[in-house]
Amino acid sequence: MEKRKEAGCALAASLLAGPLALPTAALEVSQAWGVEPEAAKDEVVYVKAGADGATQGLYVVNVFDTGSVQTVDDPARYTRVKNLTTTPALVQEHGAVQVSTLADQPFYYEGGMDAATPLPWDVSLTYYLDGAQIAPDELAGKSGRLRIEFAVTARGGDAEAAGLADFAESCVMQAQGTFPESAFKVEEAEGATVAHVGDNAVISYLVLPRHLVTRFYATLGFYSGTVSCLEQMTLARFLAQGYFEKHINRMRNHYRALRDKLLAALRQSPLAGKVKISGEQAGLHFLMALDTPRSEEALLQAAEGLDMRTPFVSQYYFSAPNRLPHVLVMNYSGLEEGKVAEAVARLCQAVLGEPEAAAEPPATQGRGDHT
């Protein structure tokens, strides 16, 4: 991994903020406390780790999928609880969180835990800059070739970890590190999956119980997924339970109302007799032809002076012939409903300004348009 000099400070901040997210599937917290929940549930434990692998934050997402409406007392000792599904606040008392499950969808809630809670694994990170070991808090401002060694060891032996050994042999850990590509060039990550998410490189490791390693390589060794299983499963459930369709319908209604409000404002503005609207059913934009003697260049400059970015169709043409003059692409996807009137007022000011003086024809005649 190459670390670029100009982003040294960003590197240290990223690492110290905890680049590792360690979701561990079904680490049964309630069973660890010696009490069974009243209904079957899934648990995913999330750990935010520091640059040295030490735990900085810890929380659990609990999932009840009962298929019916039930009141469940979930044994817990959380520092905080948060309802992720419905609006009522959850109450934790007498060593349990009371939840009301749903008939048509799973019920999710989050519980915070003390960062000092022991985990089934010891996690450590060691850093080498140009071959020399270096502490993570000394990396800021430096450049060179950075190697990070990531080690996970199942705990056992000491009294504190005695009750956790079974978890390390039963649960799967997914470890992720996020590295801004403005600061890093990831050259190698042995045994990991590297995905590019926005401006970041995300390195993911899957840590398996020892007895599953051979079986995993025999059956899934060919597979290389660039998206974490947790995110894929979340999206699959989101789709299967109809939430994506609900989201699309909600957004369709929102943008239809926004478009209608914008069109109504244009029809009631001083531009009403000077524009022709087309393609308003196209999606998140429509075309608006302007009846104006001003050049497109002058209109663009006027719009930019009013902090508007509305391109002309002619800007998308590959060649000059057959260009449609003075046709704006009106994209309203980023327009706030409360600012429609202001946007139309600025557009009127840009279009209805003083006409530009007619430009002199070019001295050289007979030359074709250039692409």
Same domain? For 38 and 122 the reply is: yes
Same domain? For 262 and 124 the reply is: no
End of a domain among 215, 237, 259?
237
Is the model more confident about 231 or about 151? 151
Same domain? For 200 and 281 the reply is: no
Q: Please indicate, yes or no, if residue 361 is contained in any of the structural domains.
A: no
123-149 pLDDT, tens per residue?
889 999 999 999 999 988 889 999 999
Q: Please indicate, yes or no, if residue 216 is contained in any of the structural domains.
A: yes
Q: Is the pLDDT of residue 353 over 80?
A: no
Same domain? For 257 and 224 the reply is: no
Same domain? For 165 and 276 the reply is: no
Same domain? For 91 and 67 the reply is: yes
Q: Please indicate, yes or no, if residue 368 is contained in any of the structural domains.
A: no
Mean pLDDT computed over 326-336: 89
Q: Is the pLDDT of residue 7 over 50?
A: no
SS3 string of the chain?
CEECHHHHHHHHHHHHCCCEECCEECCCHHHHCCCCCCCCCEEEEEEEECCCCCEEEEEEEEEECCCCCCEEEEECCCCEEEECCCCCCCEEECCEEEEECCCCCCEEEEEECCCCCCCCEEEEEEEEECCEEECHHHCCCCCEEEEEEEEEEECCCCHHHHHHHHHHCCCCEEEEEEEECCCEECCCCCCCEEEEECCEEEEEEEECCHHHHHHHHHHHCCCCCCCCHHHHHHHHHHHHCCHHHHHHHHHHHHHHHHHHHHHHHHHCCCCHHHEEEECCCCCCEEEEEECCCCCHHHHHHHHHHCCCCCCEHHHHCCCCCCCCCCEEEEECCCCCHHHHHHHHHHHHHHHCCCCCCCCCCCCCCCCCCCC
Same domain? For 188 and 225 the reply is: yes
Q: What is the pLDDT of residue 134?
A: 94
Domain coverage including residue 69: 2-237
Assign 352 a pLDDT band (cuts: 50, 70, 90).
Answer: confident
Q: Is the pLDDT of residue 209 over 90?
A: no
Same domain? For 194 and 46 the reply is: yes
What's the domain count of the chain?
2
Mean pLDDT of the residues in the chain: 79
Same domain? For 181 and 280 the reply is: no
19-75 pLDDT, tens per residue?
334 443 333 344 334 445 567 888 889 999 988 888 999 999 999 998 899 999 999
